[in-house]
Chain A
Amino acid sequence: MSYEFDWSVLWRYREALAEGFVLTLALSLLGLAGALALGIVAGTAGAGARRGARVAAAYVEIARNVPLLVHMYFWYLGLTALRLPAFWCGVLALAIYSGAYVAEIVRAGIQSVPAGQWAAALASGLSPRQALVHVIYPQALRIVAPSLAGLLSQLIKDSSLASVISVGELTFAAGAIEGETFRTFEAYIGITLLYLVTVTLISQLALRTLRGRAVDPAMRF
Chain B
Amino acid sequence: MDFSVVARNLPYLAAGFRVTLETSALVILGGTALGLLLGLARSGRLAVPRGAAWLYIEFIRGTPLLVVLFIVYFAIPPVIGHRFSAYEAAVIGFIAFIGAYIAEDVRSGLASVPRGQVEAGLAVGLSPRQVLWLVVLPQAVRRMIPALFNQFVRLVKFTSVASAIGVTELTGATLAVNAREFKPLPLLTALALAYFVTGYGLSLVGRWLNRRYAIAG
Contacts and interface: CB of A to CB of B under 8 A. Distances in A.
B21 interface: no
Nearest to A163: B66
Contact of B195 (A70, A79, A80, A189): A70
A217 interface: no
The binding surface of chain A is classed by DSSP as helix
Contacts of B65: 157, 160
A89 B191 CA distance: 18
A192 interface: yes
A51 B4 CA distance: 35
A192 B71 contact: yes
Interface string B64-78: 111100110011101
28 contacts: A3-B81, A61-B196, A65-B153, A65-B196, A65-B203, A66-B192, A67-B158, A67-B160, A67-B161, A69-B158, A69-B160, A73-B188, A77-B184, A80-B184, A153-B62, A157-B62, A157-B63, A157-B65, A160-B67, A161-B164, A174-B67, A174-B70, A178-B74, A185-B76, A188-B75, A192-B63, A192-B67, A196-B62
Contact of A3 (B62, B78, B175): B78
Given A171-B67, A188-B71, A188-B74, 6 more contacts: A69-B158, A70-B160, A70-B192, A174-B67, A184-B78, A192-B71
- Range, interface on chain A: 35 or more
Interface residues of B, number: 38
Contact of B79 (A153, A174, A185): A185
Contacts of B203: 65
Interface string A199-216: 110000000000000000
Nearest to A187: B75
Given A66-B192, A67-B158, A195 B64 contact: yes
B199 interface: yes
B67 A74 contact: no
Contact of B184 (A78, A160, A175): A78
Contacts of A145: none
B192 to A, nearest CB: 4
A2 B81 contact: yes
A219 interface: no
A62 interface: yes
A189 B71 contact: yes
A208 to B, nearest CB: 18
Contacts of B63: 157, 192, 195-196
